[in-house]
Chain A
Amino acid sequence: AQSVTQPDIHITVSEGASLELRCNYSYGATPYLFWYVQSPGQGLQLLLKYFSGDTLVQGIKGFEAEFKRSQSSFNLRKPSVHWSDAAEYFCAVAVGGGADGLTFGKGTHLIIQP
Chain B
Amino acid sequence: DAGVIQSPRHEVTEMGQEVTLRCKPISGHDYLFWYRQTMMRGLELLIYFNNNVPIDDSGMPEDRFSAKMPNASFSTLKIQPSEPRDSAVYFCASSLERASGANVLTFGAGSRLTVL
The residues of A with any CB-CB pair to B shorter than 8 Å are: 32, 34, 36, 41-46, 49, 51, 90, 94, 96-107
Contacts and interface: CB of A to CB of B under 8 A. Distances in A.
Given A101-B45, A104-B42, A51 B95 contact: no
A21 B104 CA distance: 21
Tell me whether chain A's interface is mostly helix, strand or loop, or mixed. Answer: mixed
Contacts of B42: 104-107
A100 B107 contact: no
A44 B107 contact: yes
Given A51-B101, A96-B101, A106-B42, A101 B107 contact: no
B98 A43 contact: no
A107 B110 CA distance: 17
Contacts of A102: 45, 105
A104 B104 CA distance: 14
Contacts of B43: 90, 104, 107
Nearest to A36: B107
